[in-house]
Chain A
Amino acid sequence: MSQLLAVMFDGVAFGMLLFLISVGLSVTLGMMNFTNLAHGAFAMVGGYVTFALASLAGWPFLATLPVAFLATMAIAAVFERLLFRYIYETGELNQVLFTIGFVFTASATAAYVFGTVHQSVDMPAVLTGFIELGEIKLPSYRLFLVAIALVITVGVVYGLEHTRFGAMVRASVDNQKVARGLGLNVNRIFALTFALGSGLAGLGGALAIEVLGLDPSFGFHILVLVLIVVALGGLGSVWGSFVAALCLGVFDVGGKYFVPELGSFLIYLFMVALLFFRPQGLFGKR
C-alpha cells in the first residue's frame, strides 16, 4: 500500500510539472483563441536559460529558476510585440502554421547554440535522494516540484480571482467583445498574460530538465502533452488544467504500474474517450 502511494506521488509530481508548463497556454487560448503551438518552445527557452546559468556559468540550480522565469517572460514579450500580435486575426490554421514555423526555428537555433546533446544540470544535495515518511520514500526533487507547483497555483488563482488585473483577464476570457466594449485594452492584457504564461512555461521547462531531460526537440516533445492537458482541462480554466494535469500524471504512472503491457496506450484512450463525451473538457465553458 505504501509502495502504491509512493508511485502515485510520482504521478502527482509529473502532473504538477505538466501543469506549470500548460497553464499559460490554457489561459491565452481561452482569451484570444490564439492557437499557440510555440508554447513548448518557450518551455525549452527556460530550460536552456537554466542550463546556461547552472552548467556553463556555474550558478546554483535554485538561483537560476527565477531567472528562467523572468528571461523567458521577457523573450516571450518581445516576440509577442514583434511577431505574434500580427497573427491574432488570421485564423487558427495560419496560427498553427506560424507557430510551428516558430518551433522549427527555435529548435534549430538551440541546436546551433547548444549542440544536439541531451543536457543536464547539477542538483543541490538537498534535492537528491529521498525523504522517508514512515514507510514511504518520497524523492526530494519530486516533493520540491509539488511544493513549487502548489505555491504557483495558489498565486495564479489568487491573482486571477482577487486582483484587478485578474478580473480584467477573466472578463477578457469570458467575452472578449464585451470586455473591449467596456473599455478594457484586451490586447495589452493579452500581451501581459502571454508573457506571464510563457514565463511559467519557461520555469516548467527549467524544472523539467531533471525529469524529462533537455534537448533541441523539447519544444515538439512537450507539445502533445501540453495540448492534452489544455484540451482535457478546458480552455481558459486554471483549475481545469490543474485537475487535468494531475489526472494525466497519476493515470499515466498508475497505468504503467498496474498494466504495463498497455504502456502509453492508456493516456490516449483516456483522452479520446473523455473528449468524445465531454468535448469542452473537464471545466471548459465552451
Chain B
Amino acid sequence: MKRTFVPVLATTALLTVTLASTSALAQKTVKIGVTNVYSGQFADPGAQLDAGIKLYMQLHGDTVAGAKIQIIRRDVGGIAPPVAKRLAEELVVRERVDILAGNLLTPNALAVAGVSKDAEKFTVVMNAATPIITTKSPYMVRTSLTTSQLNHHFGEWVAKQGVKNVYTMVTNYGPGTSSGKSFEDAFKKKGGKVVGADKTPVVNPDFSPFVQRVAEAKPEALYVWVPGGTQPPALGKALAERGVTPANTKIFGQGELTDDAALEAMGKVALGIITAYHYNVHRDTPLNTRFVKAYRAANNGRDPDIYSIGGYDGMHLIYEVLKKTGGNTSGKAMIEAAKGMSWESPRGMMSIDPRTRDVVQTVWIREVKMKDGKPANIIIDHIDNAKDPDL
C-alpha cells in the first residue's frame, strides 16, 4: 500500500505544480478582496450582496480582459471599523488583491477608504449609503445609492404634490437620521413644514408607542425611514393596528417600508403608501426580468433586493473597467476608466459621476396599488439622472 501510494502522490504533486505554473504563465489573475458582513445581525444583507456578486460572475464568466477573476471574501462580523480596516490591510498585504469591494456598512466602508487611499487600490462601495464615504479616497466608486440622493429628491417631489405638513419618524442611527434630514431639508426648502419628529431605536423596536404619538398628532402626512429586514413588517403591523393608514394620513418612506414582507403584513391598509427607491424587483423590463429569474434560480426562489443589485452592478463596473483598461489594475488607471461610465442595469440607466465618482441613477416613485389581486408597488413617477445634492 505504502509503496504504491508514494509514487502516485509524487506524480500527482508534480503534475499539479506543472499545471499550476503553466496556467499562471498563460493567464493573469485579478484578485478582488471583498470585505462584507457574513455573520451576526447584518448577515442577511451581507448574504444578499454576496449573492449579487456571485450571480454576475455566474452569468458573465470569471474571465475578463484575459484575466481570471478571483474573489477573496472576508467577514467583518458587524459594525466593526477596526476589523474592517485590518481585513482590508491584510487583503492588500497578505493576499495581494488588486481591487477592494463589498463594503456593506458605512463605518466599515469609511475604515476601508483609508486603506484604499494609502494602498492606491480601486475600491467599490457596493452598499454603504452615507454620502461622504467616496470623498475619503480618490480611488473609490459607489454602485448602490446615497441616502440623500433618494430622500432629497423625494422631499422635493412630496412638496410639489401640495403636501404642507409632515411628521417624520426615522431610525436613530446614521442612515436613518441622514435620510430624514435630507428629506426634511428639501421639503422645507420647497415651503413644507415639519410638525413633529421622532427617532426609533435601532434594536428590537416596538413601534406601537411611536405610532400612537403620530396617531394623536393627526398630521397631514407621515415620513418614515426604517432599515430593511424585520422592521418594515413590524412597523406595517403597528400602523395597521393603530389605524394610521393612507385613508387618513399620507404615508411616505424609502422603499424598504413597502417591501414584499411588509406589504403582506399590512394587507390592503397599505394601499396608497408612496415610497422612493432606486430598484424595483417587479419592474417589467427584459433585463430586469432575466436578472430576477436567474437570481431566484440561484437562491432558492428568493427575490433580489437593493443589496443584491448593489453587488451585481459593482461587479459589472469592475468587469467593464477591466475591459477598458485592458487588464491594468492600477488604482489610477481603473478610477479614470470608471469615471463617467454609464450602463443599463436591471434597476434602470445608471452612471458614475466623473467629478464625485458617485452613483447617478433614476429615483423611482412608487405607490402601493392593487395588481393581480395583491397590493404591489406601482411606479407613478421617476426622477432621471438624480445625483446626490450634497457632493
Contact = CB atoms under 8 A, between A and B. Distances in A.
Interface residues of A, number: 34
Interface in B22-46: 39-41, 43-44, 46
A263 to B, nearest CB: 5
Given A117-B302, A130-B241, A260-B198, A217 B43 contact: yes
B212 A3 contact: yes
A212 B210 contact: no
Nearest to A104: B39
Interface in B208-251: 208-210, 212-213, 215-216, 229-230, 233-234, 240-243
A139 interface: yes
B63 interface: no
Interface string A205-217: 0000001110111
A118 B40 CA distance: 12
| Interface of chain B, main secondary structure | helix
B95 interface: no
Interface string A247-264: 000001110110011011
Nearest to B267: A128
- Which of the four size classes fits the interface of chain B? 20 to 34
B174 interface: no
Contacts, number: 85
A3 B200 CA distance: 19
A254 B209 CA distance: 7
Contacts of B208: 7, 10, 253
Given A252-B206, A260-B198, A264-B201, A215 B216 contact: no
A260 B241 contact: no
B243 A137 contact: yes
Contacts of A10: 206, 208-209
B10 interface: no
A221 interface: yes
Given A118-B44, A253-B206, A260-B210, A213 B216 contact: no
Contacts of B41: 217, 221
A212 B209 contact: no
A212 B204 contact: yes
Contacts of B201: 256, 263-264
Interface of B: 39-41, 43-44, 46-47, 172, 198-201, 203-204, 206, 208-210, 212-213, 215-216, 229-230, 233-234, 240-243, 261, 265, 300, 302
